[in-house]
Amino acid sequence: MIDLKKADLGLCVVCGEPRRPEALTCYKEDCHEKFVAWCEEKFGTYKKVEGPDGVPHRVPTREIVEKGLRWEDLTNYPEWS
């Protein structure tokens, strides 16, 4: 079960062990995959993200979780149709 309140305590949101400073999960791949699956279930496999020019793009939720997202990178993703 994902508990986002654990992140404020510096703990993995999946297992409750100390987490990586740059992430919401610990170093275990299993916890990372469970968190990504939870995000995809909650928010969808793809997100519709509008850039500063108003053009919406189809961005994988997994990539947002793993890499983050910058405005200048939106052109690397297909337009939402």
- Of residues 15, 38, 40, 36, the one with CA closest to residue 26: 15
**Residue ranges making up the domain that contains 50:** 44-81
CA dihedral 57, 58, 60, 66 (to 10 degrees): 0
Q: Is residue 81 part of a domain?
A: yes
pLDDT tens digits in sequence order for the chain, 81 residues long: 899 999 999 999 999 999 988 899 999 999 999 999 999 999 999 999 998 889 999 999 999 999 999 988 998 999 998
Question: Is 8 a domain residue?
Answer: no
> Burial level of 62, CB count in 10 A (0-12/13-18/19+)?
middle
- What per-residue confidence (pLDDT) applies to 61? 97
How many domains in the chain? Answer: 1
- 68 found inside a domain: yes
